[in-house]
A and B are shown apart, each in its own frame.
Chain A
Amino acid sequence: MFWDKPTETLHGEKLKALQLKRLKKTIRDSQNVGFYKKCLADAHVRPDDIRTLEDIQKIPFTKKQDLRNGYPFGFFAVPLKKVVRIHTTSGTTGKPTVVGYTPNDLDAWADLIARNMTMVGVTEDDIFQNMVNYGMFTGGLGFHYGAEKIGMTVIPSATGNTRRQIEMIQDFGVTTIHCTPSYAMHLSEVAEEMHASLDSLKTGIFGAEPWSETMRSSLEERLGVTAFDSYGLSELFGPGVAFECPERDGLHIWHDAYLVEIINPETGENLGNGEQGELVITPLVKEAMPLLRYRTGDITMKLEDGCLCTRGQKISRITGRSDDMLVIRGINVFPSQIEHVILKIPEVGNQFMVYVDRVNHLDEMTVDVEINRDYFSGELTDLARIQKKVVKELRDALELRTTVKLVEPGSLPRFEGKAKRVIDRRGDAI
């Protein structure tokens, strides 16, 4: 099924012409942003120099750190009064990254979500429970408006209270759910404990964290759904950037809205079909916050064109990151954020180690920090207070509950050269 068949099946010269037209507009719009004005000037590129899609390679990349440097509104290309919504995503340190939307942006975004959901076969007859965070995270409102646009019956259940979520699925006859794959697994276990049947479910849309094919089979068996992978990031609206079609063999990325490059993350050189590298995207329809050659940090590759569904060229499912970003229960965490928090707390030392495990299908993050000699009073209660303080500061900064372990001064590894402070023990565990 198609939401917008002519656009979704655009190929060849017609697609390129549309992309080029939109790219030129995006570059012009970007000149309202100080960063891009300087960026192009420094690279001796005038907007008019971009005459073909390949010419984009003359423009330097934009990194997440650049967005962070523009905090809060430095990347807005329109006056703030034209911005009707703000979301944030975790920054690499302290402050978050801010993204803004004009009414056209929100409409374009909802339209992409409507395309994705229609592609996997859901319609206005479906009842949709959206079990992700509805706050600053783009996953909640993004899917919400897309599903409403299709005319689905939307239950904005957000996160938490799994038993209540299960009751709603039963009582409302929910057919379609959206959540992180690990939460879906947790949901299935709680349902099992409750002896609750989830017969009404048909479709599961899972995203915001990487998941394996083993996880897919397991979720499909446990929940009785067909499971689809959803990809997006807040800097590019949010979810909806790329999505699996019923073939479930790679992600359709919407070429009319996103210009795709795959690069070697070390050299920046462009890679061809089948070559694995970092996904770099130039969004083509963003008004409030145009971006040029944004480095997503996600590792994928362009697949050979020609999907049975007749839509455009796919990318492979995301296989990893080119940087050290972690995804914990769907939340992006950079080790630098943790460092930033630790450095601000005098009671603990500057060294830390992060361990990530999967316990009962949910991600658990443990942070080891050394107690600072000067703050050891000899009293257990003072230690417990310090431990609580670190937990709280981390929760405030990461919006994530972590376990904090106080360790003896000097006991954590010291690194010469590149530090390896994160031990991810989740592996391919489901």
Chain B
Amino acid sequence: MDVKKYVVKQISVFSENRPGRLAAIAHALGEEKVNILAFSIAEASGFGVVRALVDHPEKAHKKLTSLGFNVAFTEVIAVHMKDIPGGLYEVAKILGDAKINIEYSYAYSGKDGAVLILRVDHVEEAIEKISKSGATLIESSVFH
């Protein structure tokens, strides 16, 4: 299988933990007509990382960098979930049984069902394991 097509590009933005930083990032993306499909904020002492899945990651990266933000791309994978009670359990159990260790994860629910976004240690190996285990991976072309 072509595992590459399941590798999704997330943008990770370094941010100080102070009021207005998320607004600044969101405003910049809005101006560039970049749509945010999902995002999460991870917080450490005094600073954090804003992680976002967007429709135009290259454009977002360029814009935020030009504004002085520190931006990096991070490879994540997206797994389809049923948007019903027990939907997360179904997928989480498959991942657990397949011995996939999750570094972090966030999710969103859209008109085509719910999506679980995962950051794992070894992306390509995880893609193979997940696809064998019966869960449905979503191709990156769906987002970008």
A308 at the interface (CB under 8 A from B): no
B42 at the interface (CB under 8 A from A): yes
A379 at the interface (CB under 8 A from B): yes
Partner pick for B70 among A380, A387, A408, CB 8 A cutoff: A408
Q: In the assembly, what is the distance between CA of A327 and CA of B15, in Å? A: 32
A378 shortest CB reach to chain B, Å: 3
Contact check, A405 vs B47: say whether CB atoms are below 8 A apart. Answer: yes
Q: In the assembly, what is the distance between CA of A378 and CA of B16, in Å? A: 14
Contact check, B12 vs A408: say whether CB atoms are below 8 A apart. Answer: no
B98 at the interface (CB under 8 A from A): no
A410 at the interface (CB under 8 A from B): yes
Report if A373-B45 is in contact (Cβ < 8 Å); known contacts: A408-B14, A408-B16.
no
Q: In the assembly, what is the distance between CA of A287 and CA of B48, in Å? A: 56
A384 at the interface (CB under 8 A from B): yes
Q: In the assembly, what is the distance between CA of A405 and CA of B16, in Å? A: 9
B12 shortest CB reach to chain A, Å: 3
Contact check, B49 vs A387: say whether CB atoms are below 8 A apart. Answer: no
B19 shortest CB reach to chain A, Å: 14
Partner pick for A373 among B15, B44, B70, CB 8 A cutoff: B70
Contact check, A377 vs B68: say whether CB atoms are below 8 A apart. Answer: no
Contact check, A377 vs B72: say whether CB atoms are below 8 A apart. Answer: yes
Q: In the assembly, what is the distance between CA of A410 and CA of B15, in Å? A: 12
Q: Among A378, A405, A409, which residue has the most Cβ atoms of chain B within 10 A? A: A378
Nearest neighbor of A411 in chain B, beta-carbon distance? B16
A383 at the interface (CB under 8 A from B): yes
For residue A387, which residues in chain B have a CB less than 8 angstroms away from its CB? 44-45, 47
Report if A376-B42 is in contact (Cβ < 8 Å); known contacts: A383-B47, A408-B14, A408-B16.
no
Q: In the assembly, what is the distance between CA of A405 and CA of B48, in Å? A: 11
B10-23 interface code vs A (CB 8 A; 1 in, 0 out): 10101110000000
Near B by CB (< 8 A), chain A positions 400-419 give 405-411
B91 shortest CB reach to chain A, Å: 23
Q: In the assembly, what is the distance between CA of A371 and CA of B68, in Å? A: 12
A29 shortest CB reach to chain B, Å: 52
Partner pick for A378 among B44, B47, B68, B73, CB 8 A cutoff: B73
Nearest neighbor of B75 in chain A, beta-carbon distance? A378
Q: In the assembly, what is the distance between CA of A408 and CA of B14, in Å? A: 7
For residue B15, which residues in chain A have a CB less than 8 angstroms away from its CB? 408
A370 shortest CB reach to chain B, Å: 9
Q: In the assembly, what is the distance between CA of A5 and CA of B70, in Å? A: 68
For residue A408, which residues in chain B have a CB less than 8 angstroms away from its CB? 14-16, 68-70
For residue A377, which residues in chain B have a CB less than 8 angstroms away from its CB? 72
Contact check, A379 vs B16: say whether CB atoms are below 8 A apart. Answer: no
For residue A378, which residues in chain B have a CB less than 8 angstroms away from its CB? 10, 12, 49, 51, 71-74
B46 at the interface (CB under 8 A from A): yes
B80 shortest CB reach to chain A, Å: 24
Q: In the assembly, what is the distance between CA of A383 and CA of B49, in Å? A: 9
Contact check, A380 vs B49: say whether CB atoms are below 8 A apart. Answer: yes
Q: In the assembly, what is the distance between CA of A325 and CA of B69, in Å? A: 34
Report if A376-B44 is in contact (Cβ < 8 Å); known contacts: A371-B70, A408-B68, A409-B70.
no
Q: In the assembly, what is the distance between CA of A387 and CA of B17, in Å? A: 14
Q: Among A373, A380, A407, A409, which residue has the most Cβ atoms of chain B within 10 A? A: A380
For residue A380, which residues in chain B have a CB less than 8 angstroms away from its CB? 42, 44, 48-49
For residue B10, which residues in chain A have a CB less than 8 angstroms away from its CB? 378
B53 shortest CB reach to chain A, Å: 13
Q: In the assembly, what is the distance between CA of A411 and CA of B73, in Å? A: 22
Contact check, B47 vs A406: say whether CB atoms are below 8 A apart. Answer: yes
For residue B74, which residues in chain A have a CB less than 8 angstroms away from its CB? 378-379
Q: In the assembly, what is the distance between CA of A410 and CA of B72, in Å? A: 17
Interface residues of A (CB under 8 A from B): 371, 373, 376-380, 383-384, 387, 405-411
25 intermolecular pairs with C-beta atoms under 8 Å apart: A371-B14, A371-B70, A373-B70, A376-B70, A378-B10, A378-B51, A378-B71, A378-B74, A379-B12, A379-B74, A380-B49, A383-B47, A387-B47, A405-B46, A406-B14, A406-B46, A406-B47, A407-B16, A407-B47, A408-B14, A408-B68, A408-B70, A409-B68, A410-B68, A411-B68
7 cross-chain pairs, A with B, having the tightest CB-CB distances, nearest first:
A378-B12, A378-B72, A378-B74, A405-B46, A376-B70, A380-B42, A410-B68
**Sample of 20 more A-B contacts, CB < 8 Å, known A376-B71, A378-B71, A384-B44:** A371-B14, A376-B70, A376-B72, A378-B49, A378-B73, A378-B74, A379-B12, A379-B74, A380-B49, A387-B44, A387-B45, A387-B47, A405-B45, A405-B46, A406-B16, A407-B47, A408-B14, A408-B15, A408-B68, A408-B70
